[in-house]
Structure 1
Amino acid sequence: MKREGVVKWFKEEKGYGRIMLDGEDGNHVFVHFSSIIPNKERFPNGFIFLKQGQKVSFDLIENPNSIDQKQVAENIIIISD
């Protein structure tokens, strides 16, 4: 299911972070850098990351194998900075 959200935080050095679903602070999903769709204009050096406050679009995926990460973001596209 395609959703939109706002990046709450992203640790570049670790490669993961959180996205607020529909921009709501109490409703977060996990994001890993490997789930960000590459964009040569945004990431010319190949290092993919997100920044706090960016608006993103993504697929919300159920993650039954995790106790604390029940839903994760996949196929992430940056909409605006």
Structure 2
Amino acid sequence: MANPPKRKVQGGRVTPKGTRPAGEQFLPPEAKVSPAWVPILLFSLLAAGTILIIVNYLGLIPGGTSNWWLLAGLGLILGGVITATQLH
């Protein structure tokens, strides 16, 4: 079985070189800068959540250990992770 002959296609530029309109250069977007309070809030929430979980585990919270304190600590850590997504 023979292969069919290849089609010959004219290749090359469609428009002449150097016909690009002036002023359409690519400008990169400006770098976003986070406010100073974002990293402070980020690390504060992470630290507070970690400390709350450790203090609950050690039983230093009045009223004894409770799953609600653990949940609150995990919530603070989650808040820190969510804040980290806003950091530029």
Indicate whether the TM-score tops 0.5.
no
Please indicate the TM-score interval, normalised by the length of the shorter structure: under 0.3
TM-score (norm 1): 0.16
**1 or 2, which has the higher strand percentage?**
1
Of structures 1 and 2, the larger Rg is shown by: 2
**1 or 2, which has the higher helix percentage?**
2
TM-score (norm 2): 0.15
